[in-house]
Chains A and B, each alone.
Chain A
Amino acid sequence: MYSLQLGPEQLEIRDTIRDFVTREIKPVALKADRLDQCDRTLLIDPLDQASRMGLRSLALSEERGGAGADALTSCIVTEELAAGDADIAAILSESSRLAHILFDQCMNDTQRDAFLPKFLDGERYHLAFAGREPGNDTRLGVNYHRPADRDAVVKTTATKSANDWIVNGVKDCVANAPVAGLFAVLVQIPGRPHANVVLVPTDAPGVSVRPHDKPWQHGTCGEVAFKDCKVPAANLLGDDAAATLTGAAAPGRGIPLLQALNLGIGRAAYEAALDYAHLRVQGGRPLIEHQAIGTKLGEMAIKLEIARAAVWQAAWASDHPEAIADRSLSDLPLTTIAQVFTSETVMRTAKDAAEIFGAMGVMRDMPLAKYIHDARVCMHSGDGNTDARLRVAEEIAGYRRADKRAMRLAGE
């Protein structure tokens, strides 16, 4: 039954993370020099602490050493973290998501034995999916409601040599690349009809990572080059892994982690404005007592509640496919729907929150300019909302594309 009543564990973890963010993340994330978008260094200490709290392995099943968090819990945690720092939230949610997909769904026992202990032991051992390649055009755009001219070809190759795979190629904009211990690499094995995924540890010979400077993406990302990189033949994942990792298996219906992250940014902006509106006195009374400001804050609260409902609904649908099967929930791509509504809501919220701060709202070393930048990144990560609307349109038009796999290389 569709229900958004949180269980005691979910409520407890939310309170725990909120407390952690207040005590450990906000004091360092909101320092003036860290707020400047030109100087956004990764907050290593809180990231490690969060790792030790189990947030890196949150979605990994309990029997394999994780917390076995479902999609809704993962989204709640991501929102809380992002309210403190979007970069920390992005790195942890990506590792946690991939831990569940890789260790619980895609790996066989041999592969798990090879990599799971390292992942569990190393608090800085993050996971990354190397799918996108330089020049990949993932937009729907001109291909709306018509077949794409040609499939996006995976140019990175894996060729068999005795008992090894030799990987060659370059991946770009790989989330978590600079902090990853293990890459799941989308490769083309010559002669096979579809792409495959091979596991490549960061310390394998021939792997080089070039971090991107100030990317338009949260967390940390980079270019990863594989030059005659040799890994054991056993590192090849099953044929379904490519569709699972790219999101092609259920386009627009993945766990709405980015949307939860976006929501956290909006909530941080809203809460900052609300606090300030109580404190700041102009026109003879606190700002919040002014109709114009009250209306803005009211609008923020309204839109953020609806955005959260959209994110939680998509998360619930991801956890409960039966809710779609029995028509409790729509079979539309709810994650894409949540993305459009949430990103536009959070952008508006961040701008209105900044206005409440007056000139302090446009200063780089104050929180609001950070929230605005972060909200803009969410508006334009992936292929943007114009494209997202087209993806929803294809679904409601009943258009079935044969090349979903190729179109979804960038993930959700």
Chain B
Amino acid sequence: MDFTLSNEQRSWQMAARKFADEEIRPISLERDTISTPRETWDWDIIKKGSKLGLRTMAVPKEWGGQGTDFVTQALVMTELAKADSAISKAFSQNWKWSHLISASCTEEQKQRFLPAFVADDGWVLGKGITEPSAGSDNRMPQDDPKTGIKLRAERKGDEWILNGEKAFIANAPVGKLFFIDARTDMTVPPKQGTTLFLVPSDTPGFRIGKVFNKSGWRFYQNGEMIFENARVPHANVVGEVGGAVKKAGGAGGDTTGGDLFGDLELAANALGICDDACATALKFAKTAKQGGQALFAQQNVQLQIGKINMLTEALRSFVMRVAWEHDMKIHSANAGLAMNYSGDVANEVTELYMEIRGAEGCHMDHHTDKILRDAFIWNHLASDSVSRMKVVRRLAAAA
């Protein structure tokens, strides 16, 4: 057991910390305040981060990226999330789909998309899975052909014609290239009848609808995707027709659509929120006073601070172990368990943090309110019953 970081890992961590302190934290609350969902995104911070490699760090070196390992990616996500969880996610969302490109696209597809993605500081990626009537059903696919996604893709010569819609799609309003799951056979279970397509944002017949008005993760945009006879070349099919679910799992042996990285991503990001809460709580408890004494003098405050640090350090151990296992190509249900756990921890830590802060009269500190809303995002995608049962299925399959 050696927990030492390599010089390269350490230097990425330091660079991310510097960028988080100097560039992200100063704009975090201001972006959170913007009430129009379409206007929360800031290209300036994305482009600045991109120049440091924060957009492309999961792209292999031979394709012009930085080819970082999972441990480095976990460290960087945590550092960025410590300043703003949503901005961290805006960067790491690109790594998630860079992993998918590396794992699943052909050389020809990589050639068409990867160099352009790497070269353009304003190019971000996304993946459309969820639909209004297919949330949990996508995450735990059913055998009934009538369940699951409804977005249709029909072959016409060298093209596929897509019709339907996607909802809540991350980066939809800002992305240039999307992976899209579409049904190519409605008569078989979705697992066998779904195909994965690469869909550039300027595809004819494809447009973005509303931008969702989330309570947390304000910066990070989720939008509707609308396909009205959208024409996608056959060359953009990823893997085989009908092979979306299998293909999206890539080399990791996990068949749930990029989750190999996605689970680690949520856990590492949550850790950043917790680090933020711990650091701010301690600073607050040492400086805020009651009756002439620092709050830290109180047993209750000490116990609360002890607890949030205990939970945060336990999460860190879990996150870093999973990152290391990914680098060692040891694949298990651990990433999913870490993700479930991270939701529990992020919620408990931010709630305890709010208890330490308390309201000041009839006001609540904005930053405290924000990290609680950010942490609450985990409730519906990391620590909810469906996420947990998905992971348990992986446990059972591996046993």
Question: Which residue from A136, A292, A381, A385 sits with its C-beta under 8 Å from B389?
Answer: A292
Q: Is B102 an interface residue (CB 8 A)?
A: no
**Considering the chains assembled together, what is the distance between the CA atoms of A282 and B138 in angstroms?**
9
A380 within 8 A of B: yes
Tell whether, in the assembled complex, residue B142 and residue A284 are in contact, meaning their CB atoms are under 8 Å apart: yes
The 8 sampled A-B contact pairs (Cβ below 8 Å) are A139-B290, A149-B292, A172-B361, A212-B363, A283-B136, A292-B385, A359-B168, A376-B372
The answer to whether A141 and B136 have CB atoms under 8 Å apart is: no
Chain B CB within 8 A of A132 CB: yes
Closest 8 CB pairs of A and B: A173-B362, A292-B385, A216-B364, A217-B362, A282-B136, A215-B362, A369-B215, A173-B361
Residue of A nearest to B388 (CB): A292
Does B205 lie at the interface of the complex (its beta carbon under 8 Å from any beta carbon of A)? no
Cβ of A365 < 8 Å from any Cβ of B? yes
Residues in B whose Cβ lies below 8 Å from that of A148: 291
Which residues from chain B contact A364 at a C-beta distance below 8 Å?
Answer: 213-215
Q: Would you call A384 and B168 a contact (CB within 8 A)?
A: no
Chain B min CB distance to A128 (Å)? 13
Please state if A141 and B215 are interface contacts (CB–CB under 8 Å). Answer: no
A139 touching B358 by the CB < 8 A rule?
A: yes
**B287 in the interface, Cβ–Cβ < 8 Å?**
no
Contact assessment for B140 and A283 in the assembled complex, using a CB-CB cutoff below 8 Å: yes
A364 to B144, CA, bound (A): 33
Q: Which of B5-13, B332-340, B375-383 contacts A (4 or more CB under 8 A)?
A: B375-383
Q: Please, how many angstroms separate the alpha-carbon atoms of A134 and B360 in the complex?
A: 10
CA distance A221 to B364 in the complex (A): 14
For A384, the closest partner residue in chain B by CB is B358
| A36–B215 alpha-carbon span in the complex (Å) | 9
**Residues of B participating in the A interface, judged by any CB pair closer than 8 Å:** 35, 130, 135-137, 140, 142, 144, 147, 167-168, 212-216, 222, 290-293, 295, 297-298, 300, 304, 347, 354-355, 358-359, 361-364, 369, 372, 376-377, 379-381, 384-385, 389
A373 within 8 Å of B (CB atoms): yes
> Across the interface, do B362 and A221 meet the contact criterion of CB distance under 8 Å?
yes
Pick the contact of A362: B295, B369, B379 (CB < 8 A): B379
* Chain A neighbourhood of B140, CB < 8 A: 283
Interface status of A105 (Cβ within 8 A of chain B): no
A142 proximity list for chain B (CB < 8 A): 290-291, 293, 295, 297-298
CB neighbours of B168 from chain A (8 A):
359
Binds B, one of A42-50, A96-104, A108-116, A350-358: A350-358
Assuming A141-B290, A142-B290, A215-B362, is B385 touching A293 (CB within 8 A)? yes
Chain A contacts with B in 119-148, Cβ cutoff 8 A: 132, 134, 136-137, 139, 141-143, 148
B308 to chain A, nearest CB (A): 14
Q: With A284-B142, A386-B300 as given contacts, are A361 and B359 in contact (CB-CB < 8 Å)?
A: no
Q: Is A402 part of the contact surface with B, judged by Cβ < 8 Å?
A: no
B362→A212 contact, CB < 8 A: yes
* Cα–Cα, bound, A5→B278 (Å): 48
With a cutoff of 8 Å between Cβ atoms, the chain B residues found around residue A173 in the complex are 361-363
How many chain A residues sit at the interface, stated as a range, is: 35 or more
Q: How far is B303's CA from A390's CA once the two chains are assembled, in angstroms? A: 14
Is A363's beta carbon under 8 Å from chain B? yes
Q: Is A38 close to B, CB under 8 A? A: yes
* Beta-carbon contact of A132 and B213 below 8 Å: no
Q: Which chain A residues lie closer than 8 Å to B167 at the CB level?
A: 359
Chain B residues with Cβ below 8 Å from A290 are 385
Considering the complex, which residues of chain A in the window 158-217 have a beta carbon less than 8 Å from any beta carbon of chain B?
172-173, 212, 215-217
**Contact (Cβ within 8 A) A384 B355:** yes
* A383 interface residue (CB < 8 Å to B): yes
Q: With A149-B291, A215-B362, A384-B355 in contact, do A39 and B35 touch (Cβ < 8 Å)?
A: yes
Asked if residues A283 and B142 are in contact (CB atoms below 8 Å), the reply is yes
In the complex, whether A76 has a CB less than 8 A from a CB of chain B is no
Residues in chain A near residue B304, CB distance under 8 A:
386
Please tell me which one of the listed residues A36, A357, A384 contacts residue B35 in the complex, with CB atoms under 8 A apart.
A36
Q: Please tell me if the beta carbons of A361 and B213 are within 8 angstroms of each other in the complex.
A: no
Q: Min CB distance, B318 to chain A, in Å?
A: 22
Tell me the minimal C-beta distance from B127 to chain A in angstroms: 15
A265 within 8 A of B: no
Candidates A39, A221, A284, A372; contact of B215 at CB < 8 Å: A372
B384 touches A380 (CB 8 A): no
User: What per-residue 1/0 map shows which CB atoms of A339-381 lie under 8 Å from chain B?
Assistant: 0000000000001001101110111110001001100100111
A366 to chain B, nearest CB (A): 9
When distances are taken between beta carbons in the complex, the residues of chain B under 8 Å from A387 are 358
Task: Report whether B291 and A363 are in contact in the complex, using a CB–CB cutoff of 8 Å.
Answer: no
Task: Return B391 CB to nearest CB of chain A, in Å.
Answer: 13
The CA-CA distance from A135 to B35 in the complex, in Å, is: 30
User: Which of B135, B147, B222, B354 interacts with A380 by CB under 8 Å?
Assistant: B354
Contact between B291 and A143 (Cβ–Cβ < 8 Å)? yes
Assembly CA distance A24 to B135 (angstroms)? 33
Q: Which of A39, A358, A379 contacts B136 (CB 8 A)?
A: A358
Q: In the complex, which residues of chain A have a beta carbon less than 8 angstroms from the beta carbon of B354?
A: 376, 379-380
Question: B35, B293, B380: which has the most chain A beta carbons within 10 Å?
Answer: B380
How many angstroms from the CA of A191 to the CA of B24 in the assembled complex? 55
Q: Verify A359–B215 contact, CB threshold 8 A.
A: no
Q: Report how far A382 CA is from B361 CA in the complex, Å.
A: 7
Tell me the nearest residue of chain A to B368, going by C-beta: A380
**Cα(A173)–Cα(B293), bound, Å:** 25
